[in-house]
Every structure is written in structure tokens, then in C-alpha cells.
Amino acid sequence: MIDRAEIEVKSGDGGRGAVSFRHEKFVPFGGPDGGDGGDGGNIIVAADEAVTSLRAFRRKRYYKAARGRDGAGQKKHGKNGADLVLSVPLGTVVSAPAGDGLIADLDRPGQPVVVAKGGRGGKGNAHFATPTNQAPEIAQPGEAGEELALTLELKLIADVGLIGYPNAGKSTLLAAVSAARPKVASYPFTTREPVLGLVEVGTKSFVLAEIPGLVKDAHLGKGLGHDFLRHIERTRLLIHLVDGSSESPAADMAQVNTELILFNPALGGKPQLVAVNKIDLPQVEARRAEIAASFSAVGTDVFFVSAASGQGLPGLMAKTMDLLQSILQVEAGGIKVPEKVFRPRPRPYRRQK
């Protein structure tokens, strides 16, 4: 997936107004009859559900709309230039780094935004006739179209984000609860791009996005860094998967949450469900009470699951659906019964010298 692209766009120039005079038989006083030029075409960026990546914008970076046609005699108006529509995936954020920043967040199918308005066509000399100048030989040139650089960023639209350290078992879990088939291997950063899966719980369903592994200093761009942290911003809820075979699962959770908060403090306000993976391993099962106590000490309730065997996953998905429904009710203005939800708090961050 190519989820970021930088392009340049230019809307169409307006057509020139015409300088023309009537030359008709039996018309003694012809007068000016120059028509106006057509307007230049706009550059429009629109969300299209059929487009899945920004890859095309890496191959071609410059886009230009058609110019307006020039005016003509007999007050003929020049044809307007055709608009150029750039189709982008749903969830694309359009911004102008050198201008006012954010232009649009295209999160609805078919949602369009005019990013560069075409130049206005010039007026023909028919507009400039006066009692003292009945034969003007002047007309307006068309206005130049707008030209600017744009940044396109794709942020996945998913209900739930699956986060955690590399090799925590996120790909295995996603494959176990959905029809998604991410690459699964035993080395870090196996997943190179976010993967979506549809999870069905009873008669309801939600979209789960696996966010590639986060590491220390990811907010500074280390590892996969900014490339995928941005995808977490759209999710309503996070499932934080922790490797139960790690030396300190609770510390791993705290480190990942610190990276989220340092990247965007608003991420600290997202509700999280914490799941300790690999409970099928004897060494993890033997430490179950110890691990539970370490999370309890920081006020976090955890689920013990095995992505490989499926143990505990139905309960985790059911809880995820319940919490997601509560969040959706709040967004729709409904009433939610208060419940205890883990919300990570920022902790002092000290960079190693």
C-alpha cells in the first residue's frame, strides 16, 4: 500500500476575450461583438470506494486541467475547460504544506473538494463599448489557473485498531478472527502495511485493522514510525496485544502507549482492551498470576488469549463489540452505561543519550 503521495496541480487558465466587430450586409452600424473566454477547468479531488491506494500518484505527479477556449465574434462565448477529477481512496487527507495546511478529510464516499479553481475567462470587447468609445479594441486576457503542491495521506477507516510490539501475534490473531490472510512469520516487521479484516460477532460485525509493530522512538520515525501511526487516529477503539512470553508484558504495554501519546496526545484518550497473547505456551501459563498482578498494579484488566489456538478470542471479540456499540451510541447522541475502560496516561519520557 502506498499511503502517502506528493503531487502538483494546476487548474485551467481562462480563455481570452475576443476583439471583434460586426460585419454584416445592410447593417450600417456594426459595433463590437467580441465574446467572452471560457472559464478554466477546476482540479477536484474526490473519494472513490473503488480506489484502494495512492500508488498511481507516485507514477504521475503533475496534473493540469483544461484551459477555457477563447471567445469569438458574434458574442460567442468560449467553451469552459473540463474539470479534472482525481479519484483517491476513502479516508484520504488532502493538505497543502506550503499554504493553509489541511484542505479536506475525505471520509465519505463520493465526497469531492475543489483544490484549485480554474481561472475566469476574459471579457470580450462587447463589454467595453461606451458612448465615447463605440469601437473598443480591447479585451481581457483570461485569468491564470491556480497552481499548488498537495500532500495526499491515506488514513485507514477502521472501527478497531490492533496494536502492539512486533511479533506479539497481531497477524495471527487477525487471521484467526477474520477472513484476512496477513503474512505470518517469526521475525519482526513481517507486516509491512496495515491489513484490514471483517470480524463477525453474532449478527453484527466490525472492521479490525492490524497496525504494524511499534517500537521505541516510533513517534520520531524509527521502525515503521509515522508511516503507520497515523492509521490509529481514525479508529474508535484499540486492542492492545501484548506478548505473554516477554520479560515484562506490562512494561511493553506502557512503552507502546508512550509512543502513541508522544505521536499524538489525543491517542491517549482512546479506549483500549488489553490482551496477553500466547497463553497456550506452558511458560506463559505458569506466569499467569504474576502477569495479571503486574497489570492490576497499574489499574489494567487484561484478557488472556492464544491467537494460535483460539483460546479466549471469542470473549475478547464479544467484549470489543460491546464496547464499540457503546462508543457508537455516544457518537449518535445516545445514552451509555458507564463502564471501566483502560485509558493510558502519558509518563515522563527520557531519551537515552
Extents of the domains making up the chain? 1-154, 160-331
The pLDDT, as a whole number, for residue 140 is: 95
Answer whether 306's CB lies under 8 Å from 332's CB: no
Question: Cell numbers at residue 273, please?
Answer: 482492551
**What pLDDT is stored for residue 134 in this prediction?**
86
Considering only CA atoms, which of 283, 281, 275, 287 is closest in space to residue 309? 281
Q: What CATH topology corresponds to 160-331?
A: Rossmann fold (3.40.50)
Residue 107: what pLDDT?
83
pLDDT at 218 > cutoff 50: no
The set of residues, in sequence order, having a beta carbon less than 8 Å from that of 34 and lying 6+ positions away, is 17, 18, 19, 20, 71, 72, 73, 75, 124, 125, 126, 139
Q: How buried is 230 (Cβ within 10 angstroms: 0-12 exposed, 13-18 middle, 19+ buried)? A: buried
Q: How do residues 126-184 score in pLDDT, each as one tens digit?
A: 999 998 888 899 999 999 999 999 999 887 778 898 988 888 888 899 999 988 776 55
Torsion of the alpha carbons at 175, 180, 185 and 188, rounded to the nearest 10: -100
144's grid cell: 491564470
Domain 1-154 has CATH 2.70.210.12: yes
The string over 96-106, giving b where at least 16 C-beta atoms fall within 10 Å of a residue's C-beta and e elsewhere, is beeeeeebbbb
Evaluate whether 1-154 and 160-331 have a shared fold: no
Mean pLDDT of 300-322: 94
45-59, 149-163, 168-182, 203-217: least confident range: 203-217
**pLDDT, position 343:** 58
Tell me the average pLDDT across 189-215. Answer: 76
The pLDDT score that the predictor gives to residue 216 is: 56
CA distances in angstroms from 184 to 5, 174, 176, 212, 274, listed in the order given:
28, 10, 12, 12, 21
Distance CA 11, CA 260 (A): 39
Q: What band does 51 get if pLDDT is binned at 50, 70 and 90?
A: confident
Which helix (H) or strand (E) element contains residue 295? Answer: helix 288-296
pLDDT band for 282, please (50, 70, 90 cuts).
very high
Q: What is the mean pLDDT of the chain?
A: 84
pLDDT at 345: 60
Global pTM reads 0.65
Give the whole-number percent of the chain exceeding pLDDT 90: 49
pLDDT given at position 187: 42
Which pLDDT band holds residue 339 (cuts at 50, 70, 90)?
low
pLDDT on residue 3: 75
C-alpha cell read off for 132: 465615447
- pLDDT over 60 (residue 336): no
